[in-house]
Structure 1
Amino acid sequence: MAKSNTPIILLVLVVATMLVATNASGCDNDINSLKETCLQFVGVDGPKLKPDQNCCNAIQRSDIPCVCTYLTPEVEKVISADKVVYVAQQCGRPLKPGSKCGSVVVHG
């Protein structure tokens, strides 16, 4: 039974870590907004999916480079930095080539 709860516990811990880490940041609202609207598109599990309009609206309002700085190795156990880069690009907010998002270096 503990195994079935492990992913949920890990997600709660990662989200709590993100919230604590972002309390002093300028993009904590962006992270919360993306977490609420884009998790299905940036989560580690599953294939890359084209984001829906709600997710793109959140991306358009967000400081994605700031959000990328909070994609630590622990957070990347739940949130795919590669998918964050993909979703940002799909929503018309591509990151600059050579920039870093979590463990991913953006290529041109």
Structure 2
Amino acid sequence: MASSSFHFLSLTALLIVGTLCGVSAQCVTSIPSLVSHCSQYVKIPGPEIRPSKDCCDVVKGLDVPCICNLVTPEVEKLVSMEKAVFVGRSCGLTIQPGMKCGSYVVPPHA
């Protein structure tokens, strides 16, 4: 139950930040699906796991630069940015080396 409340509070904070920063509505509305279908693949503890089809379906519809604008230090405490890039690339997204998501800079392909 505490985990659900924490995810809800995180989502609420992201929505508020997104609204205040003027990010696109599609970017903000994709966050609930992203959290519900992909959070297990990007959480900080644990190994990299190939994402599910449901997660990839959500990821393929993302505006990556828009989502990257929502990455704050608080988000980086919850989400492994390395795993997020792994998930995106595993789902077929082209994520350019050097792109910034919060303080994280995407490295070249391994």
Q: Give the TM-score normalised by structure 2.
A: 0.81
Percent identical among aligned pairs is 37
**Partner of 1:52 in structure 2?**
52
Structure 1 11/33 Cα, relative in aligned 2: closer, same or farther at 3 Å?
closer
CA contact (8 A) 2:11 2:31 kept: no
Question: 5+ unaligned residues in a row in structure 2: which ranges?
Answer: none
CA contact (8 A) 2:37 2:58 kept: yes
Give, in whole Å, the separation in 1 of the partners of 2:46 and 2:9: 21
Question: 5+ unaligned residues in a row in structure 1: which ranges?
Answer: none
> What RMSD in Å do the two structures reach over aligned CA positions?
2.0
Q: Give the TM-score normalised by structure 1.
A: 0.82
**Partner of 2:13 in structure 1?**
17
Please tell me the residue identity of whatever aligns with 1:19: L
Give, in whole Å, the separation in 2 of the partners of 1:8 and 1:32: 12
Structure 1 12/33 Cα, relative in aligned 2: closer, same or farther at 3 Å?
closer
Aligned residues: 104
Please tell me the residue identity of whatever aligns with 2:14: M
Please tell me the residue identity of whatever aligns with 2:9: L
CA contact (8 A) 2:68 2:102 kept: yes
- Which consecutive aligned stretches of 4+ in structure 1 deviate over 4 angstroms post-superposition? 7-10
